[in-house]
């Protein structure tokens, strides 16, 4: 025979201070776990949001980032001529040679300065990205003008329209702010390819070439044709693969978060055990009475276990509620691939919340098992005599 | 006084299971706080600086590490008073074998063999190997962890395919050096070889990314850094000079807003401990309501009862704190050894240690938590009237 759950619920409600205190302890570790998962999820969203499914990034063989790669201008000509490349309305191939470097600006989080990706590209390069102008205007060819991504504009006080920032050989005027949605591009500074490559003494070469294929089959063929082309000494990687691998930038923080959540959970697990033991001690008489009424040892065990799990379920919900506001927070993390800061928003989605909740339930069950066993094993007569 | 202590001790030990669970719970949380404090110290204050590091400066481009400096700067830097040795350093992000295997990724630097060991006096290498490195243009030396990781043997050919630099280097391993405090995987080779293998027109031929400067003593480091930066302030490539330790720490910002993250976690953990401690104590005090009445009847004052409850909380917190510090010492040592082969800047964590200062701080957090958590339950116990407590039933 099963003891109704309402009995446990009422018991938790009667000892509401103890219940809340214990639950809050578990809730905090749940919140930290959910936040860590939300952080990595947010970072992943930004990286996957950058990739176009049909675009290939061409880098020098042996390079593992745009920053550490060089592709000569004559290779760009060969790449443009490859079949399988998509074309724009004017019939020109969608291929963009780009120069990537970093500039250092003081940010809100790091007054000492943080790196931001600087990308030199052409009109075709802009067309190949889903980026829209939100303020000011686009940069003009031949001028020392740049655009900043919206995240850069928000996080770096010196990145305002009309301000000048310094990189390469001198000052550049910020003339516009662009929005790349949930993508890495929002954390970049863009300028004209020729202008920027001249500043870095790289007139005859670029860092990378971005190519769009007409369809997935052409994408594969294009990739192979680039890698087999002995004139190029280059390789092609899909934008998706390139950005996916950068998600690991969040790994140290994720590891730290999970490590902390697990250790905190052990601490709150002990606390749950304590609370449940106290409940068992206080209700000795009740337990005896229940046994006399015919409830078996098993149902007593289950009932106390259920109470512990209910307590931790409450904690799980509390923890999720505590973590939720983080969804509004934008923060930045350094990518070792681009050697610069990527801004992203926490994304505590259903998976993170459910993981946190499940974590709490497991904790409640583990913490409650010993007290529940102690309750079930009480001698009926001596239990009845307890004060 | 002694009588109270005995009473406090007896009370703490009465419900042993509860006290043990509370101590265990406190210990785990305190251990976490201890590790996080040690981590903050290592990440933001650099842990312990080795004597070699204290005398070393790194000079790089003011705007970004990725921007090059002309190699000619070396001559100017050499002339600055207090500078003992300078070596140019060029980062060569080349590929060794299959780059998809993380094992094959390591730092590769082009330097001047003649001065490498002057700038890094802590590197230990047999004299014959040092001579070979000086005399053979295509020679390279590896750090012990790298040689062990890849199973490299002296005389082995190492081919590096350039990424940024349009060249392929065919190097021969002539030596393996030991660095007592540094366990990173790194390969050094001759800058002249790299320069000569680049195409004649390559604009980066005479460029480097950094200079390593060895100062004559550690007090001169700050002054030298200022002088170097002043000399190049108005040149096309202004510099930024920093002590090696500060340079390594500047990468910590790559991990994100870690300060806020650590502070938030420490806050949450401390708060959790407060909750747990208060909760346990409240439960104990509630169960002893009748006893408190009896003590009061016997003539114990409210103040004495208050201090007894506070004493009990502090004692338990202290025990938890001590155990936690013990755990933290072990955990720090474990993390430090696990991070021995960590790449790049994450390696600052290698210096993670549970120093006496951190231990003292951690222990005082435990005591404060014990004291603060006892306030409400202690007042509760002290305030109740004798009649009420004696009537209390369960």
Residue among A272, A319, A326, A325 nearest A27 (CA): A319
Contacting residues of B for A110, CB less than 8 Å apart: 253
What is the reported pLDDT for B393?
62
Q: Which residues 107-146 of A have a C-beta within 8 angstroms of B? A: 109-110, 112, 114-115
Dihedral over Cα of A55, A61, A65, A70: its sign = negative
CA-to-CA distance for A131 and A149, rounded, in angstroms? 9
Q: Which residues 261-300 of A have a C-beta within 8 angstroms of B? A: 263-264, 266-271, 273-275, 277-278, 281-282
- Name the phi and psi angles at B92, rounded to 5: -120, 95
Q: Which residues 152-191 of B have a C-beta within 8 angstroms of A? A: 161-166
> Count H helices, E strands: chain B?
15, 12
What is the reported pLDDT for B68?
87
Shortest distance between the Cα of B207 and any Cα of chain A, in A, equals 11
Contacting residues of A for B257, CB less than 8 Å apart: 109, 331-332
Residues contacting residue B178 through CB under 8 Å, at least 6 positions apart: B123, B124, B125, B143, B144
What is the reported pLDDT for B231?
92
Average pLDDT, chain A: 91
Residue of A nearest to B98 (CA): A62
CB contact under 8 A, A21 and B31: no
CB contact under 8 A, B26 and A267: yes
Residues contacting residue B101 through CB under 8 Å, at least 6 positions apart: none
CA-to-CA distance for B214 and B209, rounded, in angstroms? 17
CB contact under 8 A, B166 and A62: no
Shortest distance between the Cα of B236 and any Cα of chain A, in A, equals 7
What is the reported pLDDT for A387?
63
Confidence of residue A57 (pLDDT cuts 50, 70, 90): very high
Gyration radius of chain B over CA positions: 30
CB contact under 8 A, B32 and A336: no
Q: Do residues A124 and A160 make contact, with C-beta atoms less than 8 angstroms apart? A: no
What is the reported pLDDT for B347?
59
Residue of B nearest to A261 (CA): B265
pLDDT digits (tens, 9 = 90+) for A293-327: 999 999 999 999 999 999 999 999 999 999 999 99
- Residue A350 above 60 pLDDT? yes
Q: Do residues A168 and A199 make contact, with C-beta atoms less than 8 angstroms apart? A: yes
Give the residue carrying structure tokens 């962890």. Answer: B145
Of B65, B66, B276, the CB nearest to A25: B276
Shortest distance between the Cα of B143 and any Cα of chain A, in A, equals 22
Query: What is the ipTM, given to two decimal places?
Result: 0.85
What is the reported pLDDT for B129?
94
Residues contacting residue B292 through CB under 8 Å, at least 6 positions apart: B285, B305, B381, B384, B389
Dihedral over Cα of B140, B141, B145, B149: its sign = positive
What is the reported pLDDT for B314?
92
Q: Do residues B173 and B118 make contact, with C-beta atoms less than 8 angstroms apart? A: no
CA-to-CA distance for B384 and B394, rounded, in angstroms? 15
Q: Which segments in chain B show pLDDT lower than 50?
A: none
pLDDT digits (tens, 9 = 90+) for A135-179: 999 999 889 999 999 999 999 999 999 999 988 888 999 999 999
Whether the model pTM is above 0.80: yes
CB contact under 8 A, B255 and A334: yes
CB contact under 8 A, B254 and A336: yes
CB contact under 8 A, B26 and A273: no
CB contact under 8 A, A169 and B17: no
- Say if B339 is an interface residue toward chain A (CB within 8 Å): no
How far CA A112 is from CA of A187, B57, B209, B247, in Å, comes to: 18, 18, 20, 12
Residue of A nearest to B26 (CA): A267
- What would the 3-class secondary structure string for chain A be? CCCCHHHHHHHHHHCHHHHHHHHHHHHHHHHHHHHHHHHHHHHHHHHHHHCCCCEEEEEECCCCCCCCCCEEHHHHHHHHCCCCECECCCCCECEEEEEEEEEEECCCCCCCCEEEEEEEECHHHHHCCCCEEEEECCCCCCCCEEEEEHHHHHHCCCCCCCCEEEECCEEEEEEEEEECCCCHHHHEEEEEHHHHHHHCCCCCEECEEEEEECCHHHHHHHHHHHHHCCCCCEEEEEHHHHHHHHHHHHHHHHHHHHHHHHHHHHHHHHHHHHHHHHHHHHCHHHHHHHHHCCCCHHHHHHHHHHHHHHHHHHHHHHHHHHHHHHHHCEEEEEECCCCEEEEEECCCCHHHHHHHHHHHHHHHHHHHHHHHHHHHCCCHHHHHHCC
Size of interface A-B (CB pairs under 8 A): 177
To the nearest whole percent, how much of chain A has pLDDT over 90? 71
pLDDT digits (tens, 9 = 90+) for A81-98: 998 999 999 999 999 999
- Pair of tokens at residue A96: 């963009």
CB contact under 8 A, A267 and B28: yes
What is the reported pLDDT for B343?
55
Candidates A18, A28, A270: best to mutate against B (most CBs of B within 10 A) is A270
CB atoms within 10 A of CB A207: 26
């Amino acid at each position: 025979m099963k003891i109704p759950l309402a009995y446990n619920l009422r018991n938790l409600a009667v000892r509401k201070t103890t219940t809340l205190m214990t639950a809050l302890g578990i809730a905090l570790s749940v919140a930290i776990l959910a936040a860590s998962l939300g952080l990595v999820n947010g970072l992943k969203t930004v990286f996957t949001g950058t990739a176009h499914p049909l675009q290939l990034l061409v880098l020098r063989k042996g390079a593992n980032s745009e920053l550490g790669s060089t592709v000569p201008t004559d290779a760009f000509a060969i790449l443009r001529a490859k079949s399988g490349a998509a074309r724009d309305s004017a019939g020109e191939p969608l291929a963009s040679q780009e120069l990537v470097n970093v500039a250092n600006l003081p940010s809100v989080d790091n007054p000492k300065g943080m790196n931001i990706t600087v990308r030199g590209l052409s009109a075709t390069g802009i067309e190949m990205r889903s980026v829209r102008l939100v303020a000011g205007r686009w940069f003009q060819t031949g001028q020392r003008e740049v655009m900043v991504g919206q995240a850069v504009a928000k996080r770096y006080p010196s990145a305002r329209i009309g301000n000048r920032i310094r990189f390469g050989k001198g000052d550049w005027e910020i003339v516009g702010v662009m929005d790349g949605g949930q993508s890495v591009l929002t954390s970049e500074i863009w300028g004209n390819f020729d202008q920027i490559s001249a500043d870095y003494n790289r007139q005859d070469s670029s860092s990378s070439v971005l190519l769009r294929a007409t369809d997935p089959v052409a994408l594969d063929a294009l990739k192979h044709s680039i890698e087999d082309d002995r004139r190029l000494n280059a390789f092609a990687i899909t934008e998706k693969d390139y950005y996916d691998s950068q998600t690991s930038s969040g790994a140290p923080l994720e590891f730290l978060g999970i490590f902390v959540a697990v250790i905190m959970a052990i601490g709150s697990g002990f606390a749950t055990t304590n609370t449940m033991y106290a409940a068992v001690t206080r209700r000795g008489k009740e337990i005896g009475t229940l046994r006399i009424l015919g409830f078996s040892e098993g149902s007593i065990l289950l009932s106390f276990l259920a109470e512990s799990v209910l307590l931790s379920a409450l904690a799980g919900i509390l923890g999720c509620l505590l973590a939720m506001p983080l969804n509004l927070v934008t923060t930045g993390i350094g990518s070792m691939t681009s050697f610069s800061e990527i801004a992203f928003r926490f994304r505590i989605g259903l998976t993170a919340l459910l993981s946190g909740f499940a974590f709490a339930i497991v904790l409640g069950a583990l913490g409650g098992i010993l007290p529940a066993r102690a309750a079930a094993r009480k001698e009926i007569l001596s239990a009845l005599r307890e004060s | 006084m002694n009588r109270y202590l005995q009473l406090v001790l007896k009370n703490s030990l009465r419900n042993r299971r509860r006290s043990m669970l509370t101590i265990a719970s406190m210990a785990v949380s305190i251990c976490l706080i201890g590790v996080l404090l040690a981590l903050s110290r290592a990440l933001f204050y650099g842990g312990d600086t080795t004597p070699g590091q204290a005398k070393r400066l790194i000079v790089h481009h003011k705007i970004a590490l990725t921007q090059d400096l002309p190699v000619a700067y070396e001559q100017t830097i050499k002339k600055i008073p207090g500078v003992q040795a300078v070596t140019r350093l060029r980062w060569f992000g080349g590929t060794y074998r299959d780059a998809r295997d993380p094992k094959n990724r390591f730092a590769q630097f082009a330097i001047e063999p003649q001065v490498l060991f002057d700038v890094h006096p802590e590197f230990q290498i047999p004299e014959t190997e040092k001579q070979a490195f000086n005399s053979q243009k295509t020679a390279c030396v590896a750090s012990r962890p790298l040689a062990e990781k890849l199973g490299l043997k002296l005389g082995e050919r190492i081919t590096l395919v350039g990424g940024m630099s349009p060249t392929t280097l065919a190097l021969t391993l002539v030596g393996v050096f030991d660095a007592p405090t540094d366990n990173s995987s790194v390969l050094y080779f001759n800058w002249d070889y790299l320069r000569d293998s680049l195409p004649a027109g390559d604009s980066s031929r005479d460029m480097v990314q950094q200079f390593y400067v060895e100062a004559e003593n550690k007090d001169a480091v700050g002054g030298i850094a200022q002088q170097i930066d002043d000399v190049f302030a108005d040149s096309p490539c202004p510099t930024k000079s920093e002590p090696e330790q500060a340079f390594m720490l500047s990468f910590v910002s790559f991990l994100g807003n870690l300060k806020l993250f650590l502070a938030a976690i420490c806050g949450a953990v401390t708060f959790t401990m407060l909750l747990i401690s208060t909760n346990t104590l409240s439960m104990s005090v509630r169960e002893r309501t009748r006893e408190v009445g009896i003590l009061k009847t016997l003539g114990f004052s409210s103040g004495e009862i208050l201090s007894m409850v506070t004493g009990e909380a502090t004692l338990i917190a202290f025990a938890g704190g001590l155990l936690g510090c013990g755990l933290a010492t072990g955990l720090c040592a474990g993390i430090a050894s696990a991070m021995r082969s960590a790449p790049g800047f994450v390696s600052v964590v290698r210096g993670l240690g549970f120093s006496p200062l951190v231990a003292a701080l951690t222990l005082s957090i435990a005591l404060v938590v014990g004291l603060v958590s006892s306030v409400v339950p202690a007042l509760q116990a002290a305030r109740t009237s004798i009649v009420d407590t004696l009537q209390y039933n369960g």
